[in-house]
Amino acid sequence: MHEVRTNELDSSSAPTTPAVHYLNATHGAASWFFTKDHKRIALLYLYSVSTFFLVGGIFAMLVRLELATPRGDLLSAETYNKVFTAHGVVMVFFFLIPAIPAILGNFLVPLMIGAKDLAFPRINLASWYLYMTGGLFGVAVLVMGGVDTGWTFYTPYSTAASNSHVVLTALGAFVAGFSSIFTGLNFIVTIHTMRAPGMTWDRLPLFIWSHYATSLIMMLGTPVVAVTLMMVVLERTLRLGFFNPDLGGDPVLFQHLFWFYSHPAVYIMVLPGMGVISEIVAAFSRKPVFGYKMVAMASLGIALIGFLVWGHHMFTTSQSVLAAVTFSFLSFLVAIPSAIKVFNWTATLYRGSVLLDSPMLYAIGFIGLFTIGGLTGLFLAAIGLDIHVHDTYFVVAHFHYVMVGGTLLAYLGGLHYWWPKITGKLYSEPWAKTSAVIVFVGFNLTFFPQFVLGYMGMPRRYHAYPAEELSWQVLNVLSSAGASILAIGLFLPLIYLTYAAFRGRPAGPNPWGAYGLEWETTSPPPTANFEVTPIVTKPAYYYAPEEH
Ligand code: HEM
Ligand SMILES: [Cu+2]
């Protein structure tokens, strides 16, 4: 399917898997649970994050089943609140935030810069244990009967009224937050100090730039949400008055603190995805990413401006007109670096010799869906329109276009792109293409109707809606049908990727003929990543002219 570059592989012999590599270098459970190898830690995350994704997905299906009919006939209102909260908490804190950085970032950051490991391998392992501890708190909450505040823990409901397990959930998110802070710290120190000779800042792959920017947000933002959640816990348990007016607190203060982290957090979710897309677009257009420097700086720009826009979640609170207009303006501003990326990926495709392999299908899907998510974000940043669609399904559709159409598609694209490197095996390309198409169709059928529903006024977080509104039911049924299709599309990769890991054909070091240090070592890589430390002499994405 791909022309094999003769300088990479001896074309007379089929690709082989090295006899000793990171997967089989040592054996036994202890060699995995106490590993300091970033690649093995990435796999530990892969198993646990995938499990949480499955759990979050089951809750999503329950939400959609309930809404397939107008009456609240499947779940009680109380259970419904717990189900959508569980879906939101699991998806945000245990899937979207760790997925790309903790799995793909962990595996690839050292490989892409020519390092042997991350700067602090023990802290890296500790991060996984923190993530698991936070996850166990979350599982305990589910077993004990759940939590009903929504993943945003809005006060004073969460501190004064809710009878559910707010404290334990908040502690779970708190502990998992430290895993994120440590990962960010590890990436920043690694990128600063462990680059191979010749890997200058202007030769860094864009995946690395995006992880650098993400790490800054992780380190600067996550402590704020950690403190905020602690304040909720203290107010609930000790009745300290931070947020509850009865105790002399201010509920809007909670929203400021929460969104000061949680808006930048959406960039923790999507920036690493943008890094993945840059790698895939370059490899499958056989061209350097157009405007490399602009794309790299756009990551930093997004990280920076992302901290200035939290107030767009609060247009309907008592915000002053001046504050609202400022936040609206800054929200429009943050669209610019995102738009730069979309334009530059598109310009990279232009006149490239574009190959439509499965990772590229995901990347193209990402570009389209993220654009829709981003543009509808501008609708929400326009104050007048936000007043109309605030807390409706329009918002649900918007953030799913960004988080599922964006982050999840980038994650799947990246997983397919680097699967041969991670496992040393090739998966079935026809199956991969089929499921990419199913995901795309199912996704749009699920979430596009929700824009219309929201515009028509259907509020989010309700477990029933008026039966007289026939069009509401039609749109909800379409959305629920789409969710089933999407579920199939998301389940298939689990099967053929796992199958490939055991039974696939050997991939060879560089099955896509891509450029980048990670493709210059064996698949799977040895424990130390490279037999000899690579020396970098060329810019990123140096696709030789004869391949155009
Ligand atoms: C990667 C996949 C997904 C992620 C990250 C995700 C994330 C989220 C988040 C954060 C919320 C907000 C919950 C809240 O505000 O309380 C939410 C709500 C919702 N999600 Fe998902 N979701 C995903 C997939 C799905 C799927 C596949 C479906 C459909 C089957 C779905 C259906 C819903 C619905 C209907 C709500 C609205 C609950 C409400 O009324 O507030 N989600 N999702
Ligand atoms: Cu925001």
Q: How far is the CA of 480 from the centre of ligand 1 (A)?
A: 12
pLDDT of residue 13: 62
Question: Do 259 and 314 meet the contact criterion of CB atoms below 8 Å apart?
Answer: yes
484 lies in some domain: no
Q: Among 49, 61, 62, 63, say which to mutate for ligand 1: greatest number of ligand atoms within 8 Å of CB.
A: 63
Which residue has the least CA distance to atom 17 on ligand 1?
Answer: 88
Which residue has the least CA distance to atom 9 on ligand 1?
Answer: 88
CA dist., res. 358 & res. 417, Å (int): 8
Which residues form ligand 1's pocket by a CB distance below 6 Å?
A: 60-61, 63-64, 84-85, 87-88, 91-92, 95-96, 150-151, 396, 400, 403-404, 408, 446, 460-461, 483, 486
Q: How far is the CA of 372 from the centre of ligand 2 (A)?
A: 16
Q: What is the pTM of this model?
A: 0.93
17 lies in some domain: no
The number of the ligand 1 atom at minimal distance from the alpha carbon of 461 is 40
Q: Which residues pair with 392 in a beta bridge?
A: 459
467 lies in some domain: no
Non-local (6+) Cβ contacts of 216 within 8 A are: 184, 188, 300, 303
Per-block mean pLDDT, blocks of 10 residues, the chain (548 long): 44 77 97 98 98 97 96 94 97 97 98 98 98 97 96 94 95 96 98 98 98 97 95 95 93 95 94 98 95 97 95 92 95 94 95 94 98 96 94 97 97 98 98 98 98 96 92 97 98 97 96 96 97 94 68
* Shortest-distance ligand to the CA of residue 335: 2
27 lies in some domain: no
CA dist., res. 88 & res. 60, Å (int): 9
Question: Do 165 and 84 meet the contact criterion of CB atoms below 8 Å apart?
Answer: no
Max Cα-Cα span within the chain: 78
Q: How far is the CA of 88 from the centre of ligand 2 (A)?
A: 16
- Give me the torsion for CA of 197, 201, 204, 206, rounded to 10°: 170
Backbone angles phi, psi at 26, to 5 degrees: -135, 160
Phi-psi region of 165 (alpha: psi -120 to 50; beta: other; left: phi over 0): beta
**Cα atoms found within 13 Å of the Cα of residue 111, Cβ hemisphere only:** 29
- Amino acid identity, residue 199? M
* Shortest-distance ligand to the CA of residue 64: 1
Question: Do 274 and 280 meet the contact criterion of CB atoms below 8 Å apart?
Answer: no
455 lies in some domain: no
Q: How far is the CA of 87 from the centre of ligand 1 (A)?
A: 6
The domain of 381 spans 37-424+509-519
Q: How far is the CA of 452 from the centre of ligand 1 (A)?
A: 17
Which residue has the least CA distance to atom 21 on ligand 1?
Answer: 60
* Shortest-distance ligand to the CA of residue 406: 1
* Shortest-distance ligand to the CA of residue 410: 1
CA dist., res. 321 & res. 306, Å (int): 21
Show the tokens assigned to 163: 């009878």
Match 């299908």 to its residue by tokens. 361
Backbone angles phi, psi at 537, to 5 degrees: -125, -5
pLDDT of residue 502: 96
The number of the ligand 1 atom at minimal distance from the alpha carbon of 443 is 27
Task: Report the first-to-last Cα separation within the chain, whole angstroms.
Answer: 16
Query: What's the structural domain count of the chain?
Result: 1
Q: How far is the CA of 174 from the centre of ligand 1 (A)?
A: 21
The number of the ligand 1 atom at minimal distance from the alpha carbon of 85 is 16
Q: Let me know how many helices (H) and strands (E) the chain has, helices first.
A: 17, 2
Match 């920076």 to its residue by tokens. 304
CATH number of 100's domain = 1.20.210.10
11 lies in some domain: no
256 lies in some domain: yes
* Shortest-distance ligand to the CA of residue 439: 1
Whole-angstrom CA distances from 289 to 7, 268, 277, 421, 445 are: 23, 22, 10, 22, 32
Which residue has the least CA distance to atom 18 on ligand 1?
Answer: 88
Show the tokens assigned to 68: 């397939």
Q: How many CB atoms lie within 10 A of CB 402?
A: 22
pLDDT of residue 545: 58
pLDDT of residue 351: 86
pLDDT of residue 318: 82
Which residue has the least CA distance to atom 5 on ligand 1?
Answer: 91
Q: How far is the CA of 28 from the centre of ligand 2 (A)?
A: 45
- Give per-residue pLDDT as tens, 390-421: 999 999 999 999 999 999 999 999 999 999 99
CA dist., res. 255 & res. 154, Å (int): 7
439 lies in some domain: no
Q: How far is the CA of 56 from the centre of ligand 1 (A)?
A: 9
Q: How far is the CA of 311 from the centre of ligand 2 (A)?
A: 8
- Give per-residue pLDDT as tens, 106-126: 999 999 999 999 999 999 999
